Every structure is written in C-alpha cells, then in structure tokens.
Amino acid sequence: MATKRPSAVTGPSTSKRARTDGDDDYIDVDDGLQEPLMPDSPGSPVETSLIPKGATINFTALRRRLADERDAAERSNDKGINNLSSLEVHRRQQDRLISHIFMDHDFSWLHLKNDHASRPLWISPNDGHIILEGFSPIAEQAQDFLVAISEPDSRPAFIHEYKLTPYSLYAAVSVGLQTEDIIEVLNRLSKVPVPDTIVSFIRERTTSYGKVKLVLKHNKYFIESTHPDTLQFLLKDQVIREARVIPTQVAPETTTITGMAGLTISKAPVKGGLVIPGTSKPTGETAGLDGRKQTDADLFTSVVGVDNDEIDEDDDNVHAFEIDDSKIDAVKKRCNELEYPMLEEYDFRNDTINPNLDIDLKPSTVIRPYQETSLSKMFGNGRARSGIIVLPCGAGKTLVGITAACTIKKSCLVLCTSSVSVMQWKQQFMMWSNITEKQIAVFTSDQKEKFAGESGIVVSTYTMVANTQVRSHESKKMMEFLESREWGFILLDEVHVVPATVFRRVVTKIKAHSKLGLTATLVREDDKISDLNYMIGPKLYEANWMDLAAKGHIANVQCAEVWCPMTPEFYREYLREKTRKRMLLYCMNPKKIQACQFLIRYHEDRGDKIIVFSDNVFALEHYARKLGKLYIHGATSQVERMRVLDHFRSNPKVNTIFLSKVGDTSIDLPEATCLIQISSHFGSRRQEAQRLGRILRAKRRNDEGFNAFFYSLVSKDTQEMYYSTKRQKFLIDQGYAFKIITHLDGLDTLPDLVYRTRDEQIELISSVLLASESDADLGSDVRGAEGDLDGTVTSKNFGLPPSRGGMPAAKRTTGSLTALSGAQHMSYVEQNKSANKKLAKETIAANRHKLFAKRDKERVQAKKDAQKAATAGGS
Ligand SMILES: Nc1ncnc2c1ncn2[C@@H]1O[C@H](COP(=O)(O)OP(=O)(O)OP(=O)(O)O)[C@@H](O)[C@H]1O
C-alpha cells in the first residue's frame, strides 16, 4: 500500500520502525495475553524451528553435503589460483568470506533454472520457508496456491513470506489438493528445483492426511474411511480402541468386515452440482481464482480450490466404526498425534434425518468475490467441510457465515463472544436472508427463546453454552433443547479468542455435523492456536488484507506511532512507581493528552470522524472530560451507548467519541475515518488489528484518494514503546507500514492547548498519584454504577438529554486525607491504612517539587493525628 505520511501532522524527524520477531511471550486466556514478561525477562521463549519434530529433513546429511561442495569448490579454486589476475583472486577471497558468513545458509548449490526470472518463488530446503516475489505478473495466482498449502507469514508490498507446516498441508489436503499436484505446482513456480527435503516432507505429511473422516449419523459419531487398513491401524491405538462403541445390533444398510467386530461398510455419498446462494455456478467452477481471469489456467485449475473427486475414490465403499461421544475430543487429538487428522465433512444434501430449514439469501444480497472464494473452499466437494475462514476485520465475515447457513439449510447454532454480538448476528440474519423472526431465537442471560417449528437458528454466547455453574431453571431447559438435537451447522464467531476448555465443553455438549470458525486474526499470544485445528478443523481460506484494500472492499489506512516525550515530573514518578501506576503515568502523560487534542482538532477540521480508544477507564474519562467529548465504557448503560453512537453517526457536532475496549469489536461505525489509540492491552496483536478494523469499513473508502488514519500515541522511553512494537507485528505482516512521528508541527501554537503550564502538569500528576491501583488497571473496564458519569459530559457539552435525570452519579475513589479535606475536588473518599504507610515512606524521598513536599508533610501530620485520635478513642 501507499505509505505517504499525512503531511501537516508530521515533523521532520520521522523514521520507520524496524520489525522485531519471536515475541510470542504471553500466556493463556482470551487471545493468550495475560501477564506480560518484560523485554529483558529471562523467560522469554525463543522462536523454534518451523518444521516440527519428526519432520524428514536430514540436517546432518545436508550440512555434510554443503561442506563437501564447499571443499571441492575451494580445491578447484586453489589449483588455478596462480594463473589468475590479482583482481580475480581478490574477488574469490571475497566470495569465500561471504560463504563463511552464510555458513549453512549458502544455497548456491541449488542451481537456478534458466528461466528463473519468470518464476516467482524460492523455497528453503532447511525449513520450508517460501519467499514469493509479490511483483511477479503471476504473483496473484501463486498467492492463491500458497495460501492453500502454506501459512502466510508476512505479506508486505514486494516480498511475501510463507511457511510450509504440517497444519498447512493438512488444510491443503482437506480442501481437495493432492500430494503430487502440490509438488508439481511448487516446482513450476520455483526458481530452483524443489529441494528433495521439501518433496519428502510434503509426501510424508500428506499421504496419511485426508484418509479419515469424522461423521455424525443419527446422533452418533463414526470414524469413517475408504481405507479399511487405516481404520485397523487406528484401532491398534489404545485411546481410540477404548473410545470405540461396539454395537449390539448392526444397522441393516451396513455389513461387518470379517474379523473386525463393529466395523461397518456403506456406500460413499454422492458429490457435485452444489450452488452456493448468491453465486450462480456450481462450487467446483466458482472456486479458486477469486473471480479473476485464469491466465495460467492449466497451471492452477488442476489444484487450486477445485474439487478433486478422485481423492479417496479408490474404493466406493466407506468403512466406519462408532466412537463414544464423551471421548470425541481425546480421539481427535490422538488421531492428530498419529498423523491421521480427521476431516469433518457433512453431506447435508443427503441428510434425510434432520429437517430442512427454509432459509435463503434475499435476492438483493450479493456476496463479494472473496466471500465466494472462501465459501467455495468450504463447499468445494458438494459437502460442508469443517474449518476456519480468515477474513480481515470489516470484510464481512457475518455474511459469509449467513451464506454458509443458507447453503446447508439445516438447524444452525451461532456462538459469539458477547450479547451485543448476539443481537447483531440476529439482526444481520434478518437483513441478509429471508429468515423470519419466529425461526431465529436468542439465548442470552436476558432472553431464552426457542424457535418455532422443527428447525431454526439459535444465536448465543460461548459462556452461556459452556457454563459449568448452577443454571437457572429456564437456562437448564434451554440447554436441554440445545443438547437434545442434532445441529446441521455450528457457527463460531471470533474463534481465536475462545479458550480451548470452552471449546471442548461446547463440542462435547452440542452435536453438530459441521463447524465453521470465523476470525480476522488467527493469532494468539500463546501456542494454543494449533488446538483449533483438531477442535474445529483446518484453516480453509485466508484473505490478503492489502488485496482487499486495493480492490476497495476495505479502506486504505495510514498508520503512525506518535512518540510523546514524558515531562520530567511524570518521568521521575514513572521510574519510582510500581507496574500498575506506571501504566497510568504513561497513559496520563500531559504531552500525550496534548498530542491527542492536536490530532483530534486536525482531523475534525479535515472532516474526519474520530474514535479515540483507551483500555484504561480512568484515562478515558479524564481525556474525554478535559477535551469535552462523549465517551462509552463498560459501565455505560445500553441506552446511553446507543444515544452516543447515534449522535456520532448523525450529529455534525459530534465528530469524536472515546471508547474503551468494549468498542474493540462488534461496533459497526462506517462513519469513522480516524482512530487514535491512547492506551491499550499490553502487546496484543489481536487488539491492534481489531481496532484498526473499526476504520477499515469506512463508508468513504471508495472516494478518490481517501485514506483512513490510525495513530498510536506512545509515551517515549517507557514500556509502552516495547508493547507498541509487539502490537504492530501482525499488521506489519499484513503489509501495513507504521510511521514514527516524533514531532507534531503546530502543536505548540494550538490556541487552547491543555496542560500547557508546569503547574497544571504537576496538578495532573498529583491526581494520577492519588488514583487507586484499580484505576491504573487496564483490564478493569466494568465499573460499578457509581463510576458511571456519562450523563455529565453528554448534557454539558451537547445539550442532549442527560442519562439519569440530569444528575451526575456519585463517584467513589481511594485518596488521601488532603483530598478528603476538599483539596482534590472529591466529594467522598475512602481511607486506606496501608496506602498511608506507603505515602509516609515516600516523604523521605529527596528532591521533590515543593508542592509534593508540602503534601507529604501534610500526610505525615494527618497520619499522626489519626493515630492520636485512635489512641484517644481506644482509651
Ligand atoms: N457482500 C456485501 N455487500 C455489501 N455489504 C457488505 C457485504 N459484506 C459485508 N458487507 C458490509 O461490510 C461491513 C462489515 O461486515 P461485518 O461486520 O460482517 O465485518 P466483520 O468481518 O465481521 O468485521 P469485524 O471482524 O470487525 O467484526 C458491514 O457493514 C456489512 O454490512
């Protein structure tokens, strides 16, 4: 994408941030991000090899071969060295020097093909790393192929990086690609012959893949294969053998294989001819090339996204055995470990047991080419494959899910992360499809509905379904309703943020024939992303952010990190304070507030609509009040939220709103064109991408020369800089370039600049220091009703009706006795003894501003008074 800097807001001293790698050093929950390790932590893990254990690459042999080749080359050089000119001798010495530097990474033995210039990729024999020339005329087709067989690692403008992994090859096989086709196409695209190590890696990983399927029939799970020997192999494993259910009666349509009790045979289901709603051609024809001209068709049609009916076709008979529902998860995991990952496919067109659902897309609904491509990967062989579709934020994952439900036409359960999303999903189903109100039900803590008739849709949250605590009578009834039936389809929204344990519970409780996970950021800050492979299925499709931006489906965004120097007073306190307060200090840095004010003014003047994000609620309220803007956080009532959002959408006076992390997802504001981030959740790559997603859907994205803007304000020389770099990694890998802005031209001359004087800044620091530890907490976005002061700002600044009859709600905070006396403008303060002790100790610190010295003195005195009073009271 174009990376021009917004001219008026950048100063002369800008530079581009170098990328840092190997930074997945976070643990568990949500997106795996909890307590961060600090940059200098000895526990930070190092990125491990891309080829996992058991891969067939023989490094020792490879090294030996490289060393032999180098020795031979040196011997031949030495022989003729006397006859060479001194220039040539010098050049050869240089070569040796270089090969010494590259050591095992000298790949000169992989000879370039004669026409290498017209072939766009190179593949590393060491680790399956693929490098693609993004500027090649056939790069787009090559990308389609690479996305199908490998993991996109980094896709900036010119050079893309992918990596071949066992999971990516599993995904390739599951969308119908065959081993030899993968090797052949790689060879045709590669500048050098595909190294033997890679060929054998692909062969070894794909021969066992795609042979075993998990199917749900008559509410029972079966492991199915057209290869009886594979099933026999699996049954030798203890975990699988113990999970097997031996039927007392054999079903009439099946026969038992001699010598293998419980192994049954049936006819393979019929394939082909499926039309996805919103498209006109059968799936096999629509698949693959994203609606573009197939310039090198013969190269790709045989492999990319086209159903390969020959797969598993060596035997028309399907052999199967039943497994216990409760052991399904263990069996799936075991099959993965045995290198026989199970594909989950649902032959919905031949399912006569489960009633059909009368649902279709409205005639006015047209799906976009990439939405169609992603769906063709799911329905490529006429059945529904379970797996994950990855589309950028704002690219329309909801419609992809709805179209999948309209294709399967069976009862569907949708699970989302919050009740706001539940309502949005319901509304979107009604908007895009012909489903009636009666056919779609909602299951949240407030609403427990069932659909009318035999089939329908239920939208709920992960927590409602996976809850293990005592349930209300109504909830129990609802769960019985969900658990007692067979679902055709389960849609899993924001699939990457849900902990594995929750999935496990959902998968065990709910019986579904097919699963589709939707996400924009298939990244977690721990290593649990691979859990999704066996719990849901492989990644079926991943779109390229830059491609969609270039085609106008999402907005072009200019990203910048603004470095705000800390004032000396803030920095001194920052160095003295403990972690949580440190965060508050770098969020509340007056220079950052000024930068925020300047950027809001600048972009409002340009006609932009601005969202300011802050994870920290204390900072959010403070900024919004100081700058006179509306805000929403966890404690804001639903009515107030809707009112603020409506004003942002339609009131020309309301061009900026402040949002806490409640706005990271699920808020659809296509009016927003600029985003400013003042505080965020440590190094979460997911949050960064999801926030960017709020402006990717900008309505004005197709206006000529339009750009959306994304600013991260970072306090200089603090931990925030480290987190910021980590956060950007995902977006950088998608091709976004972050500019560093170290100076905002015109900031100093802003007429009503806040915190201009030192005294104002010192007053601010004292209120920050008096804030409680919980105020400093980034995660505490749900404050009690007493913390909700939204009405104050609303009514004061915009003449809107106040949320609570015009009366600002009371606020309760922890502070000092000085504050209680009224000096800090607080009406009610709780006193805490341990806090006093800490404050008293601080008085020892030298070199403090006289304002602090006075305050410290007062505190010591107050403490003494309090002790005296307590002693007097006691006696
Ligand atoms: N085929 C389409 N035609 C017209 N509008 C579409 C289409 N697909 C998606 N949209 C619109 O694009 C916007 C974004 O869609 P949606 O909310 O589903 O995105 P998303 O991928 O779920 O984003 P996020 O991950 O940020 O929640 C919505 O306003 C939606 O109406």
Burial of 262 (0-12, 13-18, 19+ CB in 10 A): middle
Judged against a pLDDT cut of 60, whether residue 253 lies above it is answered with no
Q: What is the mean pLDDT of residues 171-176?
A: 81
Q: Residue 697: helix, strand or coil by DSSP?
A: coil
pLDDT of residue 840: 37
pLDDT of residue 289: 36
How much distance in Å is there from the Cα of 643 to the middle of ligand 1?
A: 23
Helix (H), strand (E) counts: the chain: 31, 29
pLDDT of residue 700: 73
- Per-residue tokens: 288: 């693959």
Atom 5, ligand 1: residue with shortest CA distance? 396
753-762 long-range contacts (CB < 8 A, ≥24 apart) are: 753/594, 753/597, 753/598, 754/590, 754/593, 754/594, 754/597, 754/626, 754/627, 755/590, 755/593, 755/594, 756/594, 758/567, 758/569, 760/590, 761/567, 761/569, 761/570, 761/590, 762/569, 762/849, 762/851
- Ligand 1 atom with the shortest distance to the CA of 397: 21
592 C-beta neighbours (distance < 10 Å), count? 27
Atom 11, ligand 1: residue with shortest CA distance? 396
Better pLDDT: 249 or 496: 496
Tokens 């029972």 correspond to: 220
* Angle, CA of 664, 667 and 671, to the nearest 5°: 110
579 C-beta neighbours (distance < 10 Å), count? 12
- Among the listed residues 571, 183, 540, the one whose alpha carbon sits nearest the alpha carbon of residue 387: 540
Atom 30, ligand 1: residue with shortest CA distance? 396
**Of the residues 373, 399, 516, which should be mutated to test ligand 1's pocket, given the most ligand atoms within 8 Å of the CB?**
399
Judged against a pLDDT cut of 70, whether residue 302 lies above it is answered with no
CA distances 173 to 305, 331, 385, Å, are 11, 20, 12
How much distance in Å is there from the Cα of 553 to the middle of ligand 1?
A: 9
Atom 22, ligand 1: residue with shortest CA distance? 397
ipTM of the complex: 0.98
Of the listed ranges 41-50, 72-81, 267-276, the one predicted with least confidence: 41-50
Which CATH number is 555-776 given? Answer: 3.40.50.300
Chain-centre distance of CA 134, in angstroms? Answer: 24
Chain-centre distance of CA 158, in angstroms? Answer: 24
Percentage of the chain lying above the pLDDT 90 cut: 16
String of DSSP letters for 825-858: --S-EE--HHHHHHHHHHTT--S--HHHHHHHHH
- Ligand 1 atom with the shortest distance to the CA of 278: 1
Judged against a pLDDT cut of 80, whether residue 210 lies above it is answered with no
pLDDT of residue 87: 62
How much distance in Å is there from the Cα of 399 to the middle of ligand 1?
A: 7
| In contact, 423 and 405? CB cutoff 8 Å | no
Contacts of 572 (CB under 8 A, 6+ apart): none
Residue 91: pLDDT band (50, 70, 90) is low
Q: Which neighbouring-strand residues pair with 113?
A: none
Burial of 170 (0-12, 13-18, 19+ CB in 10 A): buried
Of the listed ranges 48-62, 206-220, 335-349, 462-476, the one predicted with least confidence: 48-62
How much distance in Å is there from the Cα of 705 to the middle of ligand 1?
A: 22
Judged against a pLDDT cut of 50, whether residue 837 lies above it is answered with no
Judged against a pLDDT cut of 70, whether residue 697 lies above it is answered with yes
Contacts of 742 (CB under 8 A, 6+ apart): 11, 13, 14, 15, 563
- Ligand 1 atom with the shortest distance to the CA of 694: 26
- Ligand 1 atom with the shortest distance to the CA of 690: 26
Judged against a pLDDT cut of 50, whether residue 290 lies above it is answered with no
- Strands 213-217 and 343-346 turn out to be parallel
Judged against a pLDDT cut of 60, whether residue 663 lies above it is answered with yes
Domain boundaries, the chain: 121-208, 210-246+315-341, 350-551, 555-776
Rounded Cα–Cα distance for residues 316 and 268 (Å): 5
How much distance in Å is there from the Cα of 670 to the middle of ligand 1?
A: 10
Chain-centre distance of CA 467, in angstroms? Answer: 24
pLDDT of residue 689: 83
Of the listed ranges 285-289, 352-356, 446-450, the one predicted with least confidence: 285-289
How much distance in Å is there from the Cα of 691 to the middle of ligand 1?
A: 15
Burial of 80 (0-12, 13-18, 19+ CB in 10 A): exposed
Q: What is the mean pLDDT of residues 746-762?
A: 87
How much distance in Å is there from the Cα of 697 to the middle of ligand 1?
A: 7
The answer to whether the 350-551 and 555-776 domains have the same CATH topology is yes
pLDDT of residue 793: 29
- Per-residue tokens: 331: 């069996």
Q: What is the mean pLDDT of residues 452-466?
A: 90
- Among the listed residues 420, 385, 408, the one whose alpha carbon sits nearest the alpha carbon of residue 493: 420
CA distances 44 to 26, 39, 47, 731, Å, are 9, 8, 10, 22
* Angle, CA of 650, 656 and 660, to the nearest 5°: 110
Residue 509: pLDDT band (50, 70, 90) is confident
Q: Residue 870: helix, strand or coil by DSSP?
A: helix
State pLDDT tens for residues 99-120: 555 566 667 777 888 888 889 9
Residue 15 φ then ψ, to 5°: -150, 160
| In contact, 539 and 150? CB cutoff 8 Å | no
Percentage of the chain lying above the pLDDT 70 cut: 66
**Of the residues 398, 430, 519, which should be mutated to test ligand 1's pocket, given the most ligand atoms within 8 Å of the CB?**
398
- Per-residue tokens: 604: 């409002």
| In contact, 32 and 26? CB cutoff 8 Å | yes
Tell me which residues have their CB closer than 6 angstroms to ligand 1.
366-368, 371, 391, 393-399, 520, 665, 668, 670, 693, 697
Judged against a pLDDT cut of 80, whether residue 41 lies above it is answered with no
Atom 6, ligand 1: residue with shortest CA distance? 396
Most confident of 121-135, 573-587, 589-603: 589-603
How much distance in Å is there from the Cα of 363 to the middle of ligand 1?
A: 18
- Strands 264-267 and 317-323 turn out to be antiparallel
Residue 36 φ then ψ, to 5°: -75, 145
Most confident of 172-181, 264-273, 299-308, 859-868: 172-181
How much distance in Å is there from the Cα of 588 to the middle of ligand 1?
A: 35
- Ligand 1 atom with the shortest distance to the CA of 670: 29
Judged against a pLDDT cut of 50, whether residue 40 lies above it is answered with no
pLDDT of residue 592: 92
How much distance in Å is there from the Cα of 397 to the middle of ligand 1?
A: 6
State pLDDT tens for residues 314-344: 445 778 888 888 888 888 888 888 888 888 8
Judged against a pLDDT cut of 50, whether residue 224 lies above it is answered with yes
pLDDT of residue 460: 93
pLDDT of residue 459: 94
- Per-residue tokens: 590: 């007056």
Which one of 3.20.80.10, 3.90.1150.10, 3.30.420.40, 3.40.50.300 gives the CATH number of domain 350-551? 3.40.50.300
Mean pLDDT (the chain) is: 73
Judged against a pLDDT cut of 90, whether residue 411 lies above it is answered with yes
How much distance in Å is there from the Cα of 430 to the middle of ligand 1?
A: 14
**Of the residues 668, 669, 699, which should be mutated to test ligand 1's pocket, given the most ligand atoms within 8 Å of the CB?**
668
- Per-residue tokens: 140: 């787009």
How much distance in Å is there from the Cα of 309 to the middle of ligand 1?
A: 33
| In contact, 417 and 498? CB cutoff 8 Å | yes
- Among the listed residues 655, 625, 635, 667, the one whose alpha carbon sits nearest the alpha carbon of residue 794: 625
Better pLDDT: 256 or 640: 640
State pLDDT tens for residues 43-74: 333 232 333 333 334 444 545 555 565 556 55
Residue 389: pLDDT band (50, 70, 90) is very high
